[in-house]
Amino acid sequence: MSNNEIMKKLRVALSLNTEQIIEICKLVNFTVTKSELGDIFRKEDHPNFKKCGDQILRNFLNGLVIYKRGPREENK
43-70 pLDDT, tens digit per residue, is 999 999 999 999 999 999 999 999 999 8
Could you tell me if 14 and 7 are in contact, meaning their C-beta atoms sit under 8 angstroms apart?
no
Q: Residue 12's pLDDT is what? A: 97
Cα distances (angstroms) measured from residue 61 to each of 28, 38, 55, 66, 75: 10, 18, 10, 9, 23
Please check whether residue 73 lies inside any domain of the structure. Answer: no
Q: Please give the DSSP secondary-structure letter assigned to residue 45.
A: T
Mean pLDDT taken over the chain: 93
Domain enclosing residue 22, as ranges = 3-67
Please check whether residue 75 lies inside any domain of the structure. Answer: no
Query: pTM to 2 decimals?
Result: 0.86
Please check whether residue 42 lies inside any domain of the structure. Answer: yes
Integer Cα distance of 34 and 10 in angstroms: 17
Number of domains the chain is built from: 1
Mean pLDDT for 30-37 is 95
Question: Of 13, 28, 37, 12, which Cα lies nearest the Cα of 67?
Answer: 28
Please check whether residue 10 lies inside any domain of the structure. Answer: yes
